Structure 1
């Protein structure tokens, strides 16, 4: 089954996981007065975010940003006051400084597309052209303007959430003005810090709920890096840093391709095998899928270099061009005909999530039903195994994680949701046990 959360992410998850659309930070000196003025105007409600620092590292900085009514804000003070970003193309350092403290609390506001960055040793640096902050990159040594990337050698990671009014229909046992808090810790781009997030609130029946995601084991980080190195080339090349100190991070395969440390044709052979299997037009050489909503059934076959899905009954096609290795790891959008068919567009979004998930888990040759959810023992068994995603899942809490953009297909993502949130806890597990 495709989850509602997968559908919501179908055309947005890559931008959300890799993107710079939303941000919040710690105010540069002198901004406190402006932050208080803005807070008074927007009246953002807050909940306490407690950060438990078990990392074993000192000089911790926390940077929180998000959007409210289309404007980007950052948390300028632990009490929850917020400020807007300057319109600046120059890098500025952001982050609330907490030194060696083992536990700190910040009031985090009700905002959408929020990220909570934790860095050690130094603050992260951001540009904010048009008042929208940039995304700190751990997978490129150069910044977009050709200079040095000020964040590449910084130890950091993040988790993300959206908190806002629950769209209609509101579950009947909740108040009409109920809010929801949905979030995850993503490894779509990289894994740097072993974070465990905890949401406290109520469930849809208004019963107390405490939900977690991320990494619970104190040994998770050490084991992930050890497994990636043991996997050999090209996987060990995704580990960044660590010659004299602990590694900074392990980056995803597509970021490894961009950085020149991972082969651009690594997955080509499997893609060729899939396209060959579903070429020929016979019933034995078709892909089938069922989507939710009015679209329902699809049958797919390779025509030329395209994988073409035809909708059952109402007609219309969803066409996937044969992808490169990079496109497969990132997910790539199909073309839809007729383009103006809203139901078909919805179905295309679901198909996109299924195609990427079955390629990444190398189950697309083993089963021609891409909407089926086999036992998780079927994932990452058939060569070439995605060792990055397999390793992240192996050591994640309940083995739920985001090793690629649409990893929530068949409910394998780390996202969790509560209503009426009252508390958030973020635990940074040890870095080198």
Structure 2
């Protein structure tokens, strides 16, 4: 799972063995995107991705993949050459090896739903059924099944972005063929490496900008692991690996539930309290929310075991079944009535983000207007505190991060966007300081 605002979640990686090689031409970043040829060559813009390895580790591998016109590609050479994936259910190792180099540059092509995996010690292993890469798991001891050195035992993490033509309307100060680059360094599933990404480009007014996200401090990783261990049970159980060695990662609570190291009922008490508070009649028993695309007003109350939001004026309802702890940490979808109402569908999507965010930040009991953004000091103060998200935010650059899927509600996510990108830098901060 990844941060919801920026990318769709349906990737992974695998099998170089019979892949068809595609030469990707290096085109200046300001040039217009060309339509792919009918043959073997795909002409795309590229932009230099410089990886600065301050980790203190050598034997670094980098694996980059994404989609273009619905086809998945992965980068096979630092110059930007790409290949399609084979249709294979067998695990294959992927990654460009850079040994002990402190700085490397890869020309990354204009692709959507792109991931940049960095691993140390060994390459990551992926399948590619239907030509689509799988998602490696840092929370399953058997990923990949039967492998001597599975992904679970590999020190790795990833950075993700999408780069493509700016949808209409294009800001008037930008050229008609302007592109956008939007990305984030997510911890929705896990935190493994302290990465800081930097985007260089222009803003909507065509002014030069440099934007960052992730982790800037050289001590970020050490402090995150120390804080999670200090938090005690069950939070310290989310730390994977360690002992006399460098810990591998901290996994998210819902992955901890799947792995059997985090209690499946940990958040049930807070959910029960929210459902109890908003059962009954009167303003104090009512949740208020306003959505923006288009502007709609909703009021919510618990009916039976469901939290039901009613749209004011136009009618229609959005219903959330009472969640389990796992569903609350993952985010769960509502049902709509009528189901074919496009505006209601849009509003339901926004309500879903607000409901998860106010539960995860434990503000839903204290504040019944869930569309309002309180001061950030209101987050992670009411029991039970989400120590995973709180800790990630505390040590992230500008305290912006993705500790859960809809963490961008009230602009708390780490995503950044520039137009006409000219450079991307990914810095791996020290692991043991």
Q: Distance in 1 between matches of 2:94 and 2:423?
A: 24
Q: Does residue 138 in structure 1 map to residue 125 in structure 2? A: no
What count of residue pairs does the alignment treat as equivalent?
Answer: 418
Partner of 2:228: 228
Give yes or no for contact 1:182–1:415 (8 Å, CA) kept in 2. Answer: yes
Deviation of the 1:294 alpha carbon: 3.0
Give the SS at the match of 2:301. strand
Give yes or no for contact 2:24–2:42 (8 Å, CA) kept in 1. Answer: no
Give the SS at the match of 1:261. coil
1:396-430 CA distances to partner (integer Å, 9 max, x unpaired)?
A: 00000000000000000000000000000000000
Q: Does residue 372 in structure 1 map to residue 359 in structure 2? A: no
Counterparts in 2 of 1:83-122, with a 5 A limit?
83-122=83-122
1:44-97 CA distances to partner (integer Å, 9 max, x unpaired)?
A: 210000000000001000000000000000001000010000111110000000
Give the SS at the match of 1:74. strand
Give the SS at the match of 1:158. strand
Partner of 2:31: none
Give the SS at the match of 1:200. strand
Q: Does residue 34 in structure 1 map to residue 2 in structure 2? A: no
Deviation of the 1:117 alpha carbon: 0.3
Structure 2 stretches lacking a partner, 5+ long:
26-35
Q: Distance in 2 between matches of 1:402 and 1:67?
A: 23
Deviation of the 1:243 alpha carbon: 1.2
TM, length-normalised to structure 2: 0.93
- CA distance change for structure 1 residues 146 and 53 in 2, over 3 Å: closer, same or farther? closer
Q: Distance in 2 between matches of 1:329 and 1:22?
A: 21
Q: Distance in 2 between matches of 1:148 and 1:281?
A: 60
| Aligned Cα root-mean-square deviation (Å) | 1.9
Deviation of the 1:28 alpha carbon: 4.0
Give the SS at the match of 1:90. strand
Partner of 2:405: 405
After alignment, is 353-362 or 146-155 more displaced? 146-155
Q: Distance in 1 between matches of 2:86 and 2:299?
A: 51
1:319-360 CA distances to partner (integer Å, 9 max, x unpaired)?
A: 000000000000000000000000000000000000000000
TM, length-normalised to structure 1: 0.93
Q: Distance in 2 between matches of 1:156 and 1:293?
A: 38
Deviation of the 1:147 alpha carbon: 7.0
Give the SS at the match of 2:292. coil
* Structure (1/2) with the larger helix percentage: 1
Partner of 1:258: 258
Deviation of the 1:244 alpha carbon: 2.2
Give yes or no for contact 1:235–1:388 (8 Å, CA) kept in 2. Answer: yes
Q: Distance in 1 between matches of 2:145 and 2:76?
A: 27
Q: Distance in 2 between matches of 1:136 and 1:398?
A: 29
1:100-152 CA distances to partner (integer Å, 9 max, x unpaired)?
A: 00000000000000000000000000000111011010011124768778200
Q: Distance in 1 between matches of 2:24 and 2:384?
A: 55
Partner of 1:283: 283
Q: Distance in 1 between matches of 2:73 and 2:21?
A: 12
